[in-house]
Amino acid sequence: MPKIVILRGRPASGKSTAFAKLKKRKEFDGWVLIDNCELKSWFNYLEENKEIKKKALFALMKEVMKKKKNILLEEMSRKTIMKYIGNYVKKYKYKFVVFQFYVDTQKAKRRDKKRVKDPKHPHCQLVNIEEWHKYHDKNLDPRGIIVDCDKLNKKQVVDFILENLK
């Protein structure tokens, strides 16, 4: 049964770092790895970019699903996927595995300040951490696997994800 594995959760919790480390792992050879944040940035110059971003992501996912490839996706929800392409998920019998990233708000603020100084980091602007943490807490996936980044270091996060995918 093919999988859609989603990394989602609080900003500055380590999702992008985990995604970057996972895509280097041999366990993900043959998977389609979709960095949704990167994909969104391709359309920033367009006025009506929000709908175009969704259409691009879901068009890509539909084509991948036809081939029954496993998908690793950053920053998306099961609910949104089901709303837009749930018929494909059902038709091709995809299973969701959602990793819900958590980090303390104060720690996230420190991380956010540090990462905006790094021109190589994909998220180079300060965000309202408290507001976004409240949003993510309210929209937690009830079936998601909690990744507590206050307790796990970068290597342990990757190992935790790999162990839960077995």
Gap between the Cα atoms of 3 and 34, Å rounded: 13
Q: C-alpha dihedral over 155, 157, 159, 161, to 10 degrees?
A: -150
What is the rounded average pLDDT of the residues 27-39?
A: 91
Structure confidence at residue 123 (pLDDT) = 52
Residue 121 pLDDT > 60: no
Q: What is the pLDDT of residues 36-63, one digit of tens each?
A: 888 877 887 777 677 888 899 999 999 9
Q: Which is it for strands 145-148 and 32-35: parallel, antiparallel or unpaired?
A: unpaired
Query: Residues 6 or more apart from 18 whose CB is under 8 A from it?
Result: 7, 99, 101, 147, 154, 157, 158, 161
Q: What is the pLDDT of residues 95-112, one digit of tens each?
A: 999 999 999 888 888 887
Q: What is the pLDDT of residues 73-95, one digit of tens each?
A: 998 999 999 999 999 999 999 99
State which residues form the domain around 62.
3-165
> Which CATH number belongs to the domain containing residue 16 in this structure?
3.40.50.300
Q: How many domains does the chain have?
A: 1
Query: What is the pTM assigned to this prediction?
Result: 0.88
Residue 120 pLDDT > 80: no
Residue 139 pLDDT > 70: yes
What is the rounded average pLDDT of the residues 59-70?
A: 97
